């Protein structure tokens, strides 16, 4: 039997409607995603985390942009970021919990961009926040009242990449498995 015949037989097995072929299909999908797709995507995007799921409400906007700006303008204008500036920022309407973010490590970032940075000294996961200062790098979550201490004076080496695209809501496929382990005020959709 040659390799092509073996592959055809294996493919036929995977298409069978049985519990064992279903389990083998799941294992195969996991192996392909974990050991082929993600490493290849990481190489292409030049980012250690090419896809990131938004796991908190720190970038959430509960209303339309104008209402959001009316509530937050003083904080940003005190830092010389004005409504006209913010309207031109990528993802000006924020990000929702459960969004998947495509991250690129090959692009420059500036004020208004959303970056992903390693905050493992203070938090379990990287943070996804908006750049509000370039020298030194500082960020802020759009839905946070102020800055967290970890968002000030971020070392360049901590930056994992910049958000370049968003897939709304698909990250809930992952989050649903971990929601039960979160504190009550961190569970579910953003309000």
Q: Whole-angstrom Cα distance, residue 163 to residue 129? A: 10
Q: Which residue has the tokens 């379990």?
A: 124
pTM of the complete model? 0.85
46-186 belongs to CATH 2.10.109.10: yes
| pLDDT per residue rounded down to tens, the chain (191 residues) | 688 888 899 998 988 889 999 999 999 999 999 999 999 999 999 999 999 999 999 999 999 999 999 999 999 999 999 999 999 999 999 999 999 999 999 888 899 999 999 987 777 789 999 999 998 999 999 999 888 888 888 888 889 999 999 999 999 998 888 887 777 777 888 87
Report CA-CA distances (Å) from 3 to 6, 10, 14, 114.
Answer: 5, 10, 16, 47
All structural domains of the chain with their residue ranges:
1-45, 46-186
Dist CA 54 CA 177 (whole Å): 14
Task: Specify the pLDDT at position 115.
Answer: 96
Alpha carbons 130 and 151: distance in angstroms, whole number = 10
Which burial class, exposed, middle or buried, applies to 169 when counting CB atoms under 10 A from its CB (0-12, 13-18, 19+)? middle
Distance CA 13, CA 90 (A): 46
Residues 55 and 183: their CA atoms lie apart, in Å, by: 13
> What is residue 181's predicted lDDT score, i.e. its pLDDT?
78
| pLDDT at site 1 | 63
pLDDT value at residue 179: 81
H/E element, 12:
helix 3-15
Q: Which of 172, 132, 168, 125 is nearest to 152 (CA)?
A: 132
Cβ pair 79, 132 in contact under 8 A: yes
């Amino acid at each position: 039997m040659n390799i092509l015949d073996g592959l055809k037989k294996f493919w036929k097995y995977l298409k069978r409607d049985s519990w064992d072929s279903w389990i083998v299909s799941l294992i195969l999908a996991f192996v392909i995603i974990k050991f082929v797709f993600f490493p290849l995507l990481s190489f292409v995007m030049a980012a250690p985390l090419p896809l990131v799921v938004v796991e908190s409400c720190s970038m959430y906007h509960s209303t339309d942009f104008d209402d959001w700006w009316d509530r937050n303008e003083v904080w940003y204008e005190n830092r010389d970021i004005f409504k006209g500036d913010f309207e031109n920022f990528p993802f000006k309407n924020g990000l929702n919990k459960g969004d998947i973010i495509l991250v690129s490590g090959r692009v420059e970032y500036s004020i208004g961009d959303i970056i992903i940075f390693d905050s493992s000294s203070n938090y379990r996961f990287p943070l996804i926040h908006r750049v509000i200062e370039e020298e030194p790098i500082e960020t802020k979550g759009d839905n946070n009242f102020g800055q967290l201490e970890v968002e000030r004076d971020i070392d360049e080496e901590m930056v994992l990449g910049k958000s370049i695209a968003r897939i709304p809501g698909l990250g809930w496929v992952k989050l649903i498995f971990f929601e039960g382990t979160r504190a009550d005020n961190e569970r579910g959709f953003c309000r």
